[in-house]
Structure 1
C-alpha cells in the first residue's frame, strides 16, 4: 500500500478511535483515563483485566465500548459451580420436554464475537480459567465436531475483591495473558460523585449505552489495522535501550538504586516482566503514539501504559503479596522516575 494511502487510513481510523472515546466518555463519567487505556488495548488486540469494586460501572462501560466496536457482546458470571463446558454449551428442555443442547456464550455469536466479559473470574474454578486462557491465546475452540474461530474476540474480566471464601486467585502465569490491568475507580471529584448519585440517567444503564454510536470501529477490520499501526510506528536505538533498562529494573530494581519504604528490595521481586509482557508494552505504546498522531515512539508513550501493562506481571515474594496493589504502583512509579530517559532527537 502506498505511503499516502497508509497515511489516509491511519488518519481515518484515528478519527474513529477518538470519536469512540468521546462517545463513551459522554455516558461514563470520571473514567477518561480508563477509557483511553481500553481503547489502546482494543487497537493493540490485547485482553484486559478490570480492577474495581462493585457497582462502579464496569459492565456499562464495556457494553458502551462493545456497541462502538460493533460485533457481538457476550458475558458470563463466575461462580463456584461453573464448569468449563458452561462456556461452550448449555442444555435446556425443548418444546416437547426433551433435553436439547445449544451453543454457549463463547460460541453463540461465532466469528462475530468481539467483546467477551467474564465477570468475577476468580469465583470460577481453575479448570474454567484454563479453558478461558487457552481460548484467549488461540482464539479458536473445537466443539460439536467442528472448529469455531474467534478471531476478533477481546476478553475483559474482573475479580471479586471483597469475598475470599470460594474464590480461586489467578496465578501469575495466567495473569500474564492479559495485556493490561486497568483500574475502574470511583471518581474523586465531588460534583461527579453527586451526578452519579442524583442524576437519574445514570440509573438506566441500557439507555446510556444506546447513546453510543453503533459500529464505529468495524470490529472485523481491527486485526488487520492493528498490524498497520504496529508496522507504522517506529522506535529509535536510544528508545530501545531505554526499554531494555526498564525491563531490567522490573527484575532487579535495587541495582538501579530503587528503594521503597519498609521493603527489603533484595527480597521483593521473584520474577520481573516476561518477554511477552515487554512485547505487549511496546504494542500498547505504539498505539498510544498513533493516537497522539506520531509515527515514532517517545518515552511518554511507554510511560502512558507502563503500570497497566507491567505491574501485574511482576511476581512478588509471598511476604509482600498482600500489599501488591500499593507496592506495584509505588514500584512502577519509582522505575519511571529513576531510569534515565533518553533525550529526544
Structure 2
C-alpha cells in the first residue's frame, strides 16, 4: 500500500468512526447518517425533508461537533431579508446603533455547517443570496469578500404548512447535491428510547457527550478531491450512468410506464418537462464514488450509483406544470421505473 492509499484508508476509518459516533446521538437512522456522511465527503449541499421533531437539527449539530468546525442556523420567515443572514443592527448599551455579524458571517472561515430551517418560508431574494454562497462559498460583507471554504448548506422545507411560503425554484433545487428524507425511526426499541431515555431529552447535553473534532475539517476538501481521483468508473459503468441520464428526460423510451397513476393516458415522456442536468449527474457520480470508498473499494459498481440515485436525482426532475401537484407520487414512480428498466452492467 503506497502513501496515498494509506492516507485514504486512514480517512475511511475516521469516516466510519464519524458515522458510529453520530449514531449515538441520532438513533435508528443509519441510512440518513450514511447519506449525510456521503455529502460531507462529496462536499455537496443537502435539502432535508421531514416532519417537526425528527432530529434534523440534532443530526447536523452532531456532525458539526464531530467535524470540528462551527455550526450556524437561520430560521426562514416571510420578513427575512438577505442582509439578515449577513449582519443585524441593534441599539448598543451606549444607546448608539451597532452592527453585529449574522449567521453566515459570525464564524468566518470556520463555518462548516449552515442549517436554514424552513427555507421555503423565506423570500426568493434570500434564496438568491444563499445560492451564490453555495456556488462560490464566499460572499461580500463589511466591504470585503469573506471566504467560506469549508461550508456545507443544509436546508429544510416545511412540507405540511403552505401558507406564506415560496416554493424553491428548479434552478435552486439543482444546487443541492441531495434531498434526504428523515422520518421517525421505525424500530420499537428506538422509539421507546427516544421517549423514555432522559439523555435524548436534552439535545445540548447529548451533543456535548460527543468527542469534538474527530476529523480535521480544514483537510476535508483535499481528501474529498483525493477520493474522486481514487475511485474509478469502468467504460461499462459510464455507459450505464449515461443511459440513466437519458432515461430521466425520456423515461418512456426506456420502457417506463405510469399506467397505475391514472394520468389520463399521458405517457411518462409527456409528463416530463426536463430531466436531470449535467451538474446533477456529475453530483450523482461524486456521491457514488464516496459510497464506493466508504465500502472499501476503488472502483464504482452499479449498486453505488443506484444507492444514491433517488436522493441525488429525484428533486431535479421537472414535471409539466399540470402534474406538479402530484409530484411526490409521480416522481417516486418515475425513479423506481428508471432503476427497474435501465439495464445495469
Aligned equivalents of 2:329, 2:52: Cα separation in 1 = 20
- Kindly state the Cα deviation for residue 206 of structure 1 after the two structures are TM-superposed: 1.0
Query: 5 Å matches for 1:215-230?
Result: 215-230=213-228
Aligned match of 1:159? 157
Query: 5 Å matches for 1:168-187?
Result: 168-187=166-185
Aligned match of 2:69? 71
Aligned match of 2:336? 333
| TM-score, normalisation: structure 2 | 0.96
Aligned match of 2:128? 130
What is the CA RMSD across the aligned residues, in angstroms?
A: 1.1
User: The residue matched to 2:146 in structure 1 has which SS?
Assistant: strand
- Kindly state the Cα deviation for residue 317 of structure 1 after the two structures are TM-superposed: 1.6
- Kindly state the Cα deviation for residue 191 of structure 1 after the two structures are TM-superposed: 2.6
Aligned match of 2:195? 197
Aligned equivalents of 1:304, 1:210: Cα separation in 2 = 32
Aligned equivalents of 2:151, 2:181: Cα separation in 1 = 21
Aligned match of 1:309? 312
1:318 aligns with 2:316: no
Aligned match of 2:300? 297
- Kindly state the Cα deviation for residue 268 of structure 1 after the two structures are TM-superposed: 1.3
- Kindly state the Cα deviation for residue 144 of structure 1 after the two structures are TM-superposed: 1.1
Structure 1 unaligned runs (5+)? Answer: none
- Kindly state the Cα deviation for residue 330 of structure 1 after the two structures are TM-superposed: 2.3
Aligned equivalents of 2:332, 2:21: Cα separation in 1 = 29
* CA offsets 1:83-109 (integer angstroms, 9 cap, x no match): 000001011222211110111111111
* CA offsets 1:109-150 (integer angstroms, 9 cap, x no match): 111010000000110100000001111101111121111000
Aligned match of 1:146? 144
Aligned match of 1:243? 241
Aligned match of 1:80? 78
Aligned equivalents of 1:332, 1:208: Cα separation in 2 = 37
- Kindly state the Cα deviation for residue 212 of structure 1 after the two structures are TM-superposed: 2.1
Aligned residue pairs total 340
* CA offsets 1:25-53 (integer angstroms, 9 cap, x no match): 11211111011000000000000000001
| TM-score, normalisation: structure 1 | 0.96
Q: Is the 8 A contact 2:249 2:269 kept in 1?
A: no
- Kindly state the Cα deviation for residue 21 of structure 1 after the two structures are TM-superposed: 0.3
Q: Is the 8 A contact 2:45 2:176 kept in 1?
A: yes
Aligned equivalents of 1:329, 1:191: Cα separation in 2 = 29
Structure 2 unaligned runs (5+)? Answer: none
